[in-house]
Amino acid sequence: MKHLQPKTLRVYLAILTCPRFSQRGLMAVLNRHCSVSIGMVNEVVNDLVRKRLVERAGKGALNTVFSENNVLSIGLRGGYVVSDVVGLLNLISLFRRMAELRMFTRKIRAAKGDVISELAKKDAVLCLGSAMEMYSNHFRAEEMSFYAPRVESIKDMIMEAPEGNTRVSCYRSDYTRDTGKNPDIFRDNLFAGRIRKVALTTKVQTVIDMYCDGKGAYAAPLLEELWGVVV
């Protein structure tokens, strides 16, 4: 299966986070944690326009980059708007599979709260259903899912735990080719934030992951909250 380039995936994340945008506005956000050229942003945006997932906005459209913790608040004159959010999510899911990012899964004997506390010590970020559960009172995850900046140290901890009924799955980030640079994406508030001191993927990243895991329907509450899309 053809995979998305890490920087292309970052551009998609920024566009979904800021559905009314200018290309230079995207660069201002993206270049805080990675180097993205205006040529690359232009290529990605034009491709989405051709696919009718993005369209040009009227002159003077105000662009606001939002995040769960309100760190980003940039008023820019934008020239584009995402016209088909679900179409863009489906496009990403065609080239990105969470199953391919899963590093290991194991059932251990431990309370969920204790697992979260131990993962926090390793700078892990809850994702998929574990993140969705934090955002919705009506969703219950089947397993503990998380991204790990340093997989081996967490794997050792999980493998040493006694076997039990709590299923734990560890995923790697695909936002960079160099795994040594993964901690950078973990500090990017387009990718991760915190709720009650627990690190977890942002609402936008959570929706992306759910779609890439074939569970987009469960993210319906976030689609309506973030983009006003009812599915």
**What confidence tens digit (pLDDT) does each residue in 123-135 have?**
899 999 999 999 9
Cβ atoms of 168 and 144 closer than 8 Å: yes
Residue-range domain boundaries for the chain: 6-94, 97-227
Q: Facing residues of 167 across strands? A: 107
Cβ atoms of 72 and 189 closer than 8 Å: yes
Question: Has residue 34 got a pLDDT over 90?
Answer: no
Distance CA 217, CA 226 (A): 15
Cα Rg of the chain, angstroms: 18
- pLDDT tier at 213 (50, 70, 90 boundaries)? very high
Contacts of 210 (CB under 8 A, 6+ apart): 128, 129, 132, 216, 218, 219
Cβ atoms of 48 and 15 closer than 8 Å: yes
CA within 13 Å, CB half, 83: 14
- pLDDT tier at 4 (50, 70, 90 boundaries)? confident
Average pLDDT, the chain: 85
Cβ atoms of 25 and 74 closer than 8 Å: yes
Residue 98's identity, in one-letter code, is: M
- Of 123 and 60, the one with more pLDDT: 123
Centroid of chain to Cα 44 = 18
The CATH architecture annotation of domain 6-94 reads Orthogonal Bundle (1.10)
Cβ atoms of 152 and 124 closer than 8 Å: no
pTM, to two decimals: 0.89
Question: Has residue 223 got a pLDDT over 60?
Answer: yes
In tens, the pLDDT along 105-149 reads 999 998 888 888 888 888 899 999 999 999 988 888 888 999 998
Question: Has residue 78 got a pLDDT over 60?
Answer: no
The side-by-side arrangement of strands in the sheet containing 54-64 is 20-21, 75-82, 54-64
Q: Facing residues of 54 across strands? A: 82
- Of 201 and 62, the one with more pLDDT: 201
Cβ atoms of 209 and 98 closer than 8 Å: yes
Q: Compute how many other C-beta atoms are within 10 angstroms of the C-beta atom of residue 187.
A: 12
